Structure 1
Amino acid sequence: MPSSTPRFLPLACSAHLLPLVFLLALSGCGKKEDEKKNAPATPALTVTVARPSSASLPLRLGANGNVAAWQEAIIGSESAGLRLLEVRVNVGDVVKKGEVLAVFSADTVNADVEQARAALQEAQANAAEATANARRGQVLKSSGAMSEQQVTQYFTAERTAQARVAAAKATLAQQNLRLKYTQVVAPDSGIISARSATVGAVVGVGTEMFRLIRQGRLEWRAEVVANDIGRIKPGTRVTVKAANGSEVNGKVRMIAPTVDAQTRTALVYVDLPPSLSSNAPLKAGMFAGGEFELGASDAMTVPQQAIAVRDGFSYVFRLNPDSRVSQLKVNTGRRLGERIEVVGGLAPDAQIVVQGAGFLNDGDLVRNVPATPAPASAPAAAPSKVAAR
């Protein structure tokens, strides 16, 4: 019978072929690694760059302090032992100078006024009689019908009567003044800030009834450290920020002549514009922050997009000639719109990444493209990653 051809190689032959197949596989892997090494690097991001620019930035000094009334008048009672009949104002009301705030019962005072007026009329009648007697005595003295002593008595009685008239007039004026004090009036225009008057109460002289913020004027008492006092002058413009975020412009009126020995701070009194509206952003007793405007100075600035904040520090990415970026730690300062001052860590002629800085790491390869201004109506697009090949 003819011999059949074997379908598989002998075991010995296959054992010799395995090393050859393994070597061929290793050779193919090596070629692929060499191809990857020789392939050009792919940029990680498309960015735009810019150089720092010089700008004039305002110098501001920040401070905190309390808002208080410029002057708070205490309105008290000038009548003693009278019952309070009517209270016409309440806290928050705007009043004008001379406006009646409260009224006391005037029945007793009116009776005293009438009594004083009657006493004056009586004194005036007695004075008229004494004057007539003195004139008659003067006539009789020349005729010798009346002695010198009697004539002197008539003149003395006349002067005494006139003195009693003056005393009666003073008493009447005093009672009229008491009648005037039965109406409590505002000593100045302003806002009622406190009220303790109660209808029906019998108060004594000097008892506080109202408090009035004169002319509605407030002031900001800023606490400034001793080292910065010399930078502030009377008339310096100030911006005070209210609790609701609104800003109020003021002006420095005066600087306290002493510095607190415990806190080493001095008070700077800032006049705020008067406001009689109940919706005013600043009210007495508020705690507010503000800034003193101290002029301007030149500064090196970069766009806000160029600053990357990481781990509490600020960084920029400088574009190197090999299209790779270097991460630089910088110190930032003032802010003006969309630009931030850099006070250290960056050369004035360095090219820094603007668009895409927040997506980079130190040493990344980037593609630099010219910056194109975005349309006013369309929002700026975020930088896109380039897919790695």
Structure 2
Amino acid sequence: MTIHSPGALLASRLPLVLVLAFLAGCSGDSKPAAEPKAAVAPRPALTVRLTTPQTLDWPQSLPANGNVVAWQEAVIGPEIANYRITEIRVQVGDTVKKGQVLARIADDTVASEQAEAKAAVAELEASAAEAKANAERARDLREKGFYSAQLNTQYQTALHTAQARLAAGQARLQAASLRLGKTAVLAPDDGVISARSATVGSLTQSGQELFRLIRGGRLEWRAEVPSADLARVRPGMPATLTSPAGQPVTGKVRAVAPSVDPQTRNGLVYVDLPPTAAVRAGMFARGEFELGRSPAVTLPQTAVVLREGFAYLFRLEGEDRVVQTKVTLGRRNGERVEVLSGLPAGVRVVESGAGFLADGDAVKVAAQ
């Protein structure tokens, strides 16, 4: 039995392997090498609508803050003291007319004083009439020689005394009538009741406050303006403030304070407000003064994106790519905003959907 070594066995099989490899290379089933793939164009990130900047004539404004207060607030109190309040006829928020009765005070004591004064006047009138008749008779008799000059003088003096007492009694009657009239607390002017401290049954005191009245229902906005801008505001200028509910209220500057606060360096501007339920006395409001008009390069607010504390917009570069551009904003008016710098002339800007874009994105422009 013949035994072959591994080396001899491998050498004997090598020609067979080479033949098989040659036949495989010549076979018609072989495939050509794969060709390189063509580059794929990036898909648009978003379909966008473009806009161009518009130059508009916009008002120049000066922002300010301040409080809404009553134009004038009258404090209404009793004019007689130590009398009991018997009736309250108005409440806070009621609109009243000049001379309208707001409250009544007990008048029985004052009425009796008036009746007593009337009786005293009647008595003094009778005394004065008698003194006058005596004086006239004495004068006639004096001319006929029946009375002496001294006696005639006495009658004339009695007449003057009676007339003086009558005048004093009439003054007391007038004072009693006035006191009786003061038992009705009246509105000094047209307006709105802003506060009420009067209660039925309480005693009136000198200097006591019963009601507060906003005269004419007029309110004003006392805006605080920095001293550097105070000279730009003049009486008659329009001013628009925004109520806490967001409703605009337009007023007119009535006066500018002649001095500024040494602590805040702000001066007060007094703005008359129209009658409205949008604002009330005591409210804090923000607003602005219209100083004039000037041209502004504007875009829709939807075209501006705020990122990292800065404002950006996306302008179209070429046919389908956008470039993020940093801009500086100015005034706002409705749905548009002013661009102060960073906006090249004649560019087209993404109007909506800019918040979903990044610098260099490919976009599809929607048909206008």
Q: Same fold (TM over 0.5)?
A: yes
1:63 corresponds in structure 2 to 64
- Over 3 Å counting, the alpha-carbon distance change for 1:85 and 1:50 in structure 2 is closer
* CA distance, structure 1, for counterparts of residue 140 and residue 79 of structure 2: 52
Are 1:281 and 2:278 matched, yes or no?
yes
Matches within 5 A, 1:43-62: 43-62=44-63
Displacement, 1:293? 2.1
- 1:344 is matched with which residue: 341, 344, 353? 341
* CA distance, structure 2, for counterparts of residue 252 and residue 104 of structure 1: 42
Secondary structure, counterpart of 1:208 in structure 2? coil
Q: Whose Rg is larger? A: 2
Q: TM-score, normalised by structure 1?
A: 0.81
Are 1:371 and 2:367 matched, yes or no?
yes
1:166 corresponds in structure 2 to 167
Conservation of the 8 A alpha-carbon contact between 1:192 and 1:211: yes
Are 1:219 and 2:220 matched, yes or no?
yes
Segments ≥4 residues shifted beyond 4 Å? 38-46
- 1:155 is matched by which residue type in structure 2? Q
CA RMSD of aligned residues (A): 2.6
1:24 corresponds in structure 2 to none
Are 1:262 and 2:263 matched, yes or no?
yes
Displacement, 1:45? 4.3
Displacement, 1:44? 4.3
* CA distance, structure 1, for counterparts of residue 333 and residue 97 of structure 2: 44
Decide which moves more: 164-173 or 96-105: 96-105
- Over 3 Å counting, the alpha-carbon distance change for 1:274 and 1:332 in structure 2 is same
Displacement, 1:73? 0.7
- Over 3 Å counting, the alpha-carbon distance change for 1:56 and 1:114 in structure 2 is same
Matches within 5 A, 1:1-389: 32=36, 35-36=37-38, 43-275=44-276, 280-321=277-318, 323-367=320-364, 369=365, 371-372=367-368
* CA distance, structure 2, for counterparts of residue 339 and residue 99 of structure 1: 51
Conservation of the 8 A alpha-carbon contact between 2:47 and 2:366: no
- 1:257 is matched by which residue type in structure 2? P
Secondary structure, counterpart of 1:172 in structure 2? helix
- Over 3 Å counting, the alpha-carbon distance change for 1:150 and 1:283 in structure 2 is same
**Percent identity for Structure 1 against Structure 2:** 53
* CA distance, structure 2, for counterparts of residue 209 and residue 355 of structure 1: 60
Displacement, 1:334? 1.8
Displacement, 1:13? 6.5
Displacement, 1:40? 5.2
Displacement, 1:96? 1.4
Conservation of the 8 A alpha-carbon contact between 2:256 and 2:270: yes
1:197-244 Cα shifts (integer Å, max 9, x gaps): 121112223321111111111111111111221221111112222122
Secondary structure, counterpart of 1:257 in structure 2? strand
Displacement, 1:355? 4.5
Displacement, 1:183? 0.9
- Over 3 Å counting, the alpha-carbon distance change for 1:343 and 1:249 in structure 2 is same
* CA distance, structure 1, for counterparts of residue 68 and residue 295 of structure 2: 33
* CA distance, structure 2, for counterparts of residue 245 and residue 355 of structure 1: 26
1:314-364 Cα shifts (integer Å, max 9, x gaps): 112233347543321100112334432110111222333334433332233
Secondary structure, counterpart of 2:136 in structure 1? helix
Q: Where in structure 2 are there 5+ consecutive unaligned residues?
A: 1-9, 22-31
* CA distance, structure 2, for counterparts of residue 300 and residue 123 of structure 1: 90
Displacement, 1:271? 0.9
- 2:338 is matched by which residue type in structure 1? E
Secondary structure, counterpart of 1:131 in structure 2? helix
Secondary structure, counterpart of 1:203 in structure 2? coil
- Over 3 Å counting, the alpha-carbon distance change for 1:299 and 1:163 in structure 2 is same
- 1:291 is matched by which residue type in structure 2? E
- 1:95 is matched by which residue type in structure 2? V
Conservation of the 8 A alpha-carbon contact between 1:59 and 1:293: yes
Decide which moves more: 170-179 or 131-140: 131-140
Q: Where in structure 1 are there 5+ consecutive unaligned residues?
A: 1-5, 18-26, 373-389
- Over 3 Å counting, the alpha-carbon distance change for 1:164 and 1:61 in structure 2 is same
- Over 3 Å counting, the alpha-carbon distance change for 1:142 and 1:298 in structure 2 is same
- Over 3 Å counting, the alpha-carbon distance change for 1:360 and 1:161 in structure 2 is same
Conservation of the 8 A alpha-carbon contact between 1:219 and 1:269: yes
* CA distance, structure 1, for counterparts of residue 235 and residue 119 of structure 2: 60
Conservation of the 8 A alpha-carbon contact between 1:79 and 1:205: yes
Conservation of the 8 A alpha-carbon contact between 2:138 and 2:152: yes
- Over 3 Å counting, the alpha-carbon distance change for 1:113 and 1:337 in structure 2 is closer
Secondary structure, counterpart of 1:169 in structure 2? helix
Q: TM-score, normalised by structure 2?
A: 0.86
Secondary structure, counterpart of 2:175 in structure 1? helix
- Over 3 Å counting, the alpha-carbon distance change for 1:147 and 1:230 in structure 2 is same
* CA distance, structure 2, for counterparts of residue 305 and residue 339 of structure 1: 8
Secondary structure, counterpart of 2:228 in structure 1? helix
- Over 3 Å counting, the alpha-carbon distance change for 1:350 and 1:106 in structure 2 is same
